Structures are given as structure tokens and as C-alpha cells.
Amino acid sequence: MRCIQRLRAPGVDNLVQEVFLPSYAEQIELMASWEMTSSTHPEATYLAFPFEMEGARAWFDVGGQAVRPNEDQLPGACRDYFTVQRWVELANDSWGVTVATPDAPMIQLGGFSFGANQRALSLDRATLLGWVTNNYWSTNFRAHQPGRVHVRYVIRPHAGPFDESAAHRFGAEVAIPPLFQHLGEVPVENPPLPGPSGALLQLPASPVLTLRVKPDPSGVGLIVRLLNASGSPAEAWIMPGLLSISRAERCDLLERSTGPLEVAAGCVHLEMPPRGFACLRLEVRR
């Protein structure tokens, strides 16, 4: 179901808001667009998300890590607004909402707080403000930014408390557009992949996330990057699918080998510390 509204708002022209409820996913997609004018008066545009939630706590994504306002910030850090990478979460012990922010990373929590110089964030209301534009520049940007603005947010309500790995996965899914294969290809005879489905490898389960799988530049296998998206140690298993692992080694961030990993029956196992990162080089065979 799709609902489109054409609205009026002071300071902008041709405001269009769209709410989309897809049949294929339990989420709400919110899109808005408008024309910024040539006014040089100090101004900002926000989209407000006031959730009816008692005892809400907040988390947001920075550099692939779930950050809690106040607890995970240095003294004196900004608490009036936040820059997030892919998502922000508001949740209590019973339920919560994950909001993906693929287009506009600036947010405020609890209400309008720009310039409040808050020493600590007090989340009295479960309100999220998507801060889309402003012209509060103290640099050499011009004071007006006319033109069309388009922004999208995607909300995933969920039962139960905050789940860090689920939030990371949802943010990544929204950030990457779906892949569509066109229908003009010539069919391949005797395709190497089975139908209707199959997996090259069985990758680790939550809370361990697979950040990336790519060909090894040396041409002998795959590079796999993993993240333990939790505050507890976790085990990661990579097991055979259509491919089997013949050799494995750990690498540093620059993909230089730091030592071999044991391979048993085509499987690799490693233990990951809380919020730990791992880079692996895998030699595989069919």
C-alpha cells in the first residue's frame, strides 16, 4: 500500500510525502521531497518521528559499532545532535524500532536540541528528528542552497529488546538497493549452480555478521570479513556449500597474512571477542 500527500509548509515549495507499506517485508518506508528556496534566513528542515514508547533508550551506528548516547561518549562530546552511519534504534525491554537512514545521517533525539549545549542527553520522549538540511554555516558555503531535496527513512518495528546484529543487518539491507536481473540473457546450458537455490558457503550466524565476501586479489580464493556485533564473545563457523575450504588463514586490515587457521572437513572455526573484527583468506574448491 502506498499513500502520497502533497502538502504546504513554510519555507519550502512542492512538498510531497510518501508512505509505503510493502507486502514483502515488515517495515515502513517513508520518503519526502521538496524544493528549497533562495532564502538566506537561518533555517533547517526536519522530519519528525514521535514514537509512543515508555522508557526508551537509544543506540546509533558509528563505524559499524552500536553507540549509546552518554555512556559511550567522551566527556564534552556533542549531545545536541548525532551523525549516524546506517541506523538509529529506540527500544525498551519489550519492543523497539530500528530506523535506517540511507540518505541523511544527521539526527536529534528527544526533541529539537541544536545549540542547547547539553551535558547529557535526557531521552524524556521517544522522538527521533531526521535533520535533513540547514544553512547554519560558519564556513564559506553560501547561505542558500536552492533545489530539489529527496530523503528516505525506513522503519522496522520489532518485538523484544534491542538486537545489535539485527540492526546492523537491517541498515546494510536498506543501504544497498536490491539487485534485479533483466530478462534478456541467453540461457546458460548445464549451469554450474543448482536450482532453484544453493549457497557457495555456509556463513556464520547471528550475532556474527559477514561484512564482505570478495575474490582474493591473488586469484586463489576468497577474502571474508566478519564482525561480532555483540557485547559477548561469539563463535564463527564457515562451512561448505557448493564450495569447500581447503586452506584458511587470518589477515590484518590490509589483508596481509597473520597465521594459518585449522581446516577440518572443509570447515573453519574461530572465536571472536566482543565486537571483534576478523579478516580471513580462504582457498576453496568445488
Q: pLDDT tens, 238-284?
A: 999 888 899 999 999 999 999 999 999 889 999 999 989 999 999 98
Which cell numbers in the block locate residue 147?
533545489
Mean local confidence (pLDDT), 94-112: 96
Are 46 and 161 part of one and the same domain? Answer: yes
| Summary mean pLDDT of the chain | 90
CATH of the domain at 48: 2.70.98.30
- Considering the domain boundaries, does residue 52 fall inside one? yes
Residues 152 and 18 in one domain: yes
Task: Check residue 263 and give its pLDDT.
Answer: 93
Pair (47, 128) in one structural domain: yes
| Residue 182 predicted with pLDDT over 90 | no
pLDDT digits (tens, 9 = 90+) for 123-160: 999 999 999 998 887 778 888 888 999 999 999 999 99
Give the pLDDT mean for 35-40: 90
- Given a cut of 70, whether residue 195 has pLDDT beyond it is no
The answer as to whether 15 is a domain residue is yes
pLDDT at 158: 97
Q: Are residues 227 and 137 in the same domain?
A: no
* pLDDT (0 to 100) of residue 176: 84
Give whole-number Cα distances, 186 to 182, 189, 192, in Å. Answer: 11, 9, 15
Cβ–Cβ < 8 Å for 161, 92: yes
Is residue 68 included in any domain, yes or no?
Answer: yes
Question: Number of folded domains in the chain?
Answer: 2
- Of 116, 140, 175, the residue that ends a domain is 175
- Do 163 and 235 have their domain in common? no
Q: How far apart are CA 32 and CA 22, in angstroms?
A: 17
When mean pLDDT is compared over 36-45, 123-132, 184-193, 212-221, the highest value belongs to 123-132
- Residue 126: which domain range? 2-175
Q: Are residues 128 and 225 in the same domain?
A: no
Q: Does residue 5 register a pLDDT over 80?
A: yes
The per-residue pLDDT for 192 is 66
What are the start-end ranges of the H helices in 156-284? 164-175
Same domain, 166 and 90: yes
**Burial (Cβ within 10 Å: 0-12, 13-18, ≥19) of residue 56:** buried
Predicted local confidence at residue 177, as pLDDT: 73
Please check whether residues 135 and 247 belong to one and the same domain: no
Quick one: 69 and 145 in the same domain? yes
Return the pLDDT at 135.
86
C-alpha torsion angle, residues 197, 201, 204, 208 (rounded to 10):
-100
User: Does the residue 180 lie in any domain?
Assistant: no
Residue 49 lies in a domain: yes
Q: Do residues 138 and 210 both lie within one domain?
A: no
User: Do 114 and 54 have their domain in common?
Assistant: yes
Task: Examine the domain organization and report whether 155 and 258 are in the same domain.
Answer: no
